[in-house]
Chain A
Amino acid sequence: MKQRALWSAILLAGLVTAGCGSASESDDDPSSSGESDRLVVWDWKSGEENTAAYFEQAKADFAEQHPDVTVEFVAQPFEQYYALLGTAIQAGEGPDVVLFNGGGQLRDRVDALLPLDDYVADDRERLAGWEAFSQDGAVYAAPLTLQGHPIYYNKALYEQAGLDPESPPATWDDFVADCGTVKSATGAACIALGNKEGYGIEFFLSAMGSAVLTPEEYDAWIAGDRDWSSPHVKQIFELWQAAGDTGLNNEGANSTAMFNDSFAIFQAGDAANMIGLMSDIGHWKDFNEFLGEENVGVMVAPQVNPEATPSLPYDGGIGYAVTNWTSDPDLAADLVRSLTSTDALAAFHADAGAIVSDTTIDVSGAGPAVSTIVSELETGKQALHVALSSQTLELIHILSQQLLSGSVTVDDAVAQLAASDQAG
């Protein structure tokens, strides 16, 4: 009897320690791939209905080259995506190919990624938006979409107010004057702004930046040489604060969510202008649906400073990268190339309504707003906020809300940002 109790206790203890062992080692974690006939992809897109055709195309393209390799797409919830990815990076194992947002999210994690320069050399011409996925001259992901911040306007509201919808205001003063006219004629606010999460300032900084900074200042900013105390940088923040103080924004901007309450304001015709996105969401396709294709206009940023050259701010939006622990980098890089093939991206554009990175795809069927956006790509530059570290962005979110509520001055805000930018 006692003997039996002893044995079962030993057995139990053994089981428990074995359980602990595998919890900390996770040798047989199903999501990691040791063998090279299987690739695991993490993203937040493959579960969506409107990207099904895109993934079909990409998979078919890859299967043609590597018929024996199985590709497993794991769709993670976007809210948890970078937290899960951070855990995988800490462990040094997990997916072979991962989706990234361009800019800070990628740059913070390049240590875990494989430089792709040698693999994607042939795609460099065909695709645009590489800068957002590069760090110190090396490319870490191939862009799928382009993301940028056009200023959309509601042509119907401009027309109702007796303004010419085909010639949007060219200077900031005209813009403000037109807003006054629209407001008194239709009651619509000037700018639909959602700054609950603080994203509003990112959009504003990037959309208005090229209309305030001189081209030299703009390029220096992107190159990492940012003079936060310069009068022009301060002017952007002063404009932001003034837009709030003079009632250009919709009421309660600090408690309005960018996604998707502020877009809803613009779509409902309750605001005449909106700094939106180019791809995925809050973009021409959504606006076309609500306002009608013919009523959605895109304007170049109204000029604030005569020395500035307003341009469309855009970057690579999302792109696929290869982790540096993958067992067969060539194979993983081939999958990335399939995921950015022309056929696949054409399907992405058609179904998801994204402006894709492939500049050879014809977009003329998608309405006038898209044509304007695409025509501005040529002269467009990288967005100002994408060059900032995610920590500086986190700070700018909070400061933007404080600027709107008046609890911080522009001078104080730019000083804090300069300190954060230096540390990052």
Chain B
Amino acid sequence: MDDRSGPSRRPPARPRGRFWERRAPYVLVAPAVLIIVGLRLYPLLLGVNFSFTGDGDRNGEQVGLDNYTALFDDPLFQQALRNVGLLVLLLPVAVAIPGLLATFIYLRVPGHRFYRSVYFFPAVLSPVIVGAIFNLVLAFDGPLNRLLGGVGAGPVDWLGDPDVAIFAVVGVYIWSTFGMALVVFLAGFATLDPALLDAARVDGAALRQVIRHVIVPGLSRTIQFVFVTTMIGMLTSMFGLLYIMTSGGPEGSTYLPELYIWTQQGQLNRPALASAASTVLFLIMLVVGLAQIAILRRSGRED
């Protein structure tokens, strides 16, 4: 009796329940999906679509790939892309500096407490202030050149020489941001087993050997994380510093895609060309991002 009455009472409820159970996840993720689609993907597609239209007299007309041809013919944009390549090449330096300094702090060099706070200090300054300070320091008649003159070296036009300026700006950028990476490294060191270090010391390992065989392998995930965040930072947040320090000059040698997009849209009134440049920058970031995800995944598997 029970066997039959139970199921016979349930069936009307069951399909309904299943129906909602099956759909509930979709309903629950709907807000997030709609936000992403409506506020991210849709404008992105509009932007890409816009990059196939013309500027000025040809406003609103479909021009095919003309903007992209113009873009890759523009020596300024080529320079901007070359500078992106240069940033990628300089990435190991930008990671090694905080890594090395964090190592010294971890190994308790004299005054390590003092250095820990001093190194972090620039990270709280806005890029505009940092840029203004270094404009003064690196000016042709500024203190750095006077110092060089004092030791007999000729003055360097830090921000006026096209071969030097990009390195000056990147150097200042690294100086002003490495504090964050340093903190991440110090957090990584906190997870390092001190017994390993003691064992290495007991076995008579030199500092170089300790770093190479104990610290670097122990911190591999931290190092990868710092690589990823530094890369993103370099490619997306140098605008303020560049704008203040060189505005893309001298001779266009310090242009980056972001600054190029801003100039084309805001100063030269070529929004469609700027959209094309944005699309190219997006693709670059997509490739870089996917590569980094792949690296992170591989390292995750190793663990």
Q: How many residues of B contact A (CB 8 A)?
A: 41
Of the listed stretches B87-95, B183-191, B205-213, B247-255, chain A binds B247-255
B33-69 interface with A by 8 A CB criterion: 34-35, 38-39, 42, 56, 59
CA distance A214 to B219 in the complex (A): 72
Query: Is A16 in contact with B249, judged by CB distance below 8 angstroms?
Result: no
Query: Is B34 in contact with A17, judged by CB distance below 8 angstroms?
Result: yes
Q: How far in angstroms is the closest Cβ of chain B from A262?
A: 12
Q: Which residues of B contact A121 (CB under 8 A)?
A: none
Query: Is A197 in contact with B247, judged by CB distance below 8 angstroms?
Result: yes
CA distance A9 to B269 in the complex (A): 43
Q: How far in angstroms is the closest Cβ of chain B from A394?
A: 6
Of the listed stretches A246-254, A300-308, A321-329, chain B binds A246-254
Query: Is B34 in contact with A255, judged by CB distance below 8 angstroms?
Result: no
Q: Which residues of A contact B35 (CB under 8 A)?
A: 16
Query: Is B160 in contact with A255, judged by CB distance below 8 angstroms?
Result: yes
A8-20 Cβ-contact flags toward B at 8 Å (1 or 0): 0100110011011
Please pick, from B140, B161, B266, the residue contacting A256 in the complex, using a CB distance under 8 A. Answer: B140
CA distance A6 to B20 in the complex (A): 9
Query: Is B249 in contact with A252, judged by CB distance below 8 angstroms?
Result: no
B121-172 interface with A by 8 A CB criterion: 135, 138-141, 155, 157-162, 165
Task: Across the interface, name the chain B residue whose C-beta is closest to A391.
Answer: B268
Q: Which residues of B contact A90 (CB under 8 A)?
A: 271
Provided the pairs A16-B38, A17-B34, A405-B162 are in contact, do residues A252 and B262 lie with their beta carbons within 8 angstroms?
no
Q: How far in angstroms is the closest Cβ of chain A from B51?
A: 13
Q: Is the interface of A mostly helix, strand, loop or mixed?
A: helix
Judge if B265 is at the interface, Cβ distance under 8 Å. yes
Please pick, from A5, A12, A407, the residue contacting B162 in the complex, using a CB distance under 8 A. Answer: A407
Query: Is B160 in contact with A6, judged by CB distance below 8 angstroms?
Result: no
Please pick, from B39, B165, B251, B268, the residue contacting A402 in the complex, using a CB distance under 8 A. Answer: B251
B187-244 interface with A by 8 A CB criterion: none
Task: Across the interface, name the chain B residue whose C-beta is closest to A108.
Answer: B269
Query: Is A397 in contact with B39, judged by CB distance below 8 angstroms?
Result: no
Q: How far in angstroms is the closest Cβ of chain A from B142?
A: 9
Task: Across the interface, name the chain B residue whose C-beta is closest to A398.
Answer: B252
Query: Is B249 in contact with A390, judged by CB distance below 8 angstroms?
Result: no
Judge if A196 is at the interface, Cβ distance under 8 Å. yes
Judge if B278 is at the interface, Cβ distance under 8 Å. no
Q: Which residues of A contact B267 (CB under 8 A)?
A: 82-83, 390, 394
Judge if A86 is at the interface, Cβ distance under 8 Å. yes
Q: Which residues of B contact A210 (CB under 8 A)?
A: none
Q: Which residues of A contact B141 (CB under 8 A)?
A: 251-252
CA distance A255 to B159 in the complex (A): 5
Query: Is B249 in contact with A254, judged by CB distance below 8 angstroms?
Result: yes
CA distance A197 to B249 in the complex (A): 7
Q: How far in angstroms is the closest Cβ of chain B from A257?
A: 8
Judge if B1 is at the interface, Cβ distance under 8 Å. no
Query: Is B249 in contact with A9, judged by CB distance below 8 angstroms?
Result: no
Q: Which residues of B contact A12 (CB under 8 A)?
A: 30-31
A23-34 Cβ-contact flags toward B at 8 Å (1 or 0): 110000000000
Please pick, from B34, B135, B271, the residue contacting A16 in the complex, using a CB distance under 8 A. Answer: B34
Judge if B291 is at the interface, Cβ distance under 8 Å. no
Judge if B246 is at the interface, Cβ distance under 8 Å. yes
Judge if A80 is at the interface, Cβ distance under 8 Å. yes
Query: Is A255 in contact with B30, judged by CB distance below 8 angstroms?
Result: no
Judge if B27 is at the interface, Cβ distance under 8 Å. yes
CA distance A418 to B252 in the complex (A): 19
Judge if A276 is at the interface, Cβ distance under 8 Å. no
Task: Across the interface, name the chain A residue whose C-beta is closest to B79.
Answer: A398
Q: Which residues of A contact B157 (CB under 8 A)?
A: 252, 254-255
Q: How far in angstroms is the closest Cβ of chain A from B245?
A: 9
Residue from the set B28, B34, B262 with the largest chain A CB neighbour count within 10 Å: B34
Judge if A401 is at the interface, Cβ distance under 8 Å. yes
Judge if A313 is at the interface, Cβ distance under 8 Å. no
Q: Which residues of A contact B76 (CB under 8 A)?
A: 398
Query: Is B269 in contact with A5, judged by CB distance below 8 angstroms?
Result: no
Q: How far in angstroms is the closest Cβ of chain A from B251?
A: 5
Query: Is B38 in contact with A20, judged by CB distance below 8 angstroms?
Result: yes
Please pick, from B27, B42, B139, B271, the residue contacting A255 in the complex, using a CB distance under 8 A. Answer: B139
A380-418 interface with B by 8 A CB criterion: 390-391, 394, 397-398, 401-402, 405, 407
Query: Is B266 in contact with A80, judged by CB distance below 8 angstroms?
Result: yes
Q: Which residues of B contact A83 (CB under 8 A)?
A: 262, 265-267
CA distance A107 to B265 in the complex (A): 15
Judge if A109 is at the interface, Cβ distance under 8 Å. yes
B283-303 interface with A by 8 A CB criterion: none
Query: Is A9 in contact with B262, judged by CB distance below 8 angstroms?
Result: no
Judge if B263 is at the interface, Cβ distance under 8 Å. yes
Residue from the set B56, B135, B267 with the largest chain A CB neighbour count within 10 Å: B267
Query: Is A6 in contact with B249, judged by CB distance below 8 angstroms?
Result: no
- Could you write out 9 A-B pairs with CB less than 8 Å apart? A2-B20, A9-B31, A19-B38, A20-B34, A108-B268, A251-B141, A394-B268, A401-B162, A405-B251
Top 3 nearest A-B pairs by Cβ distance? Answer: A252-B140, A255-B160, A83-B266
Inter-chain pairs besides A16-B35, A391-B268, A398-B252, 16 sampled, C-beta below 8 Å: A2-B20, A2-B24, A6-B20, A13-B34, A20-B38, A20-B39, A23-B38, A24-B42, A82-B269, A108-B56, A198-B249, A251-B141, A255-B161, A256-B140, A257-B135, A405-B250
Interface on A for B, CB 8 Å cutoff? 2, 5-6, 9, 12-13, 16-17, 19-20, 23-24, 80, 82-83, 86, 90, 108-109, 111, 196-198, 251-257, 261, 390-391, 394, 397-398, 401-402, 405, 407
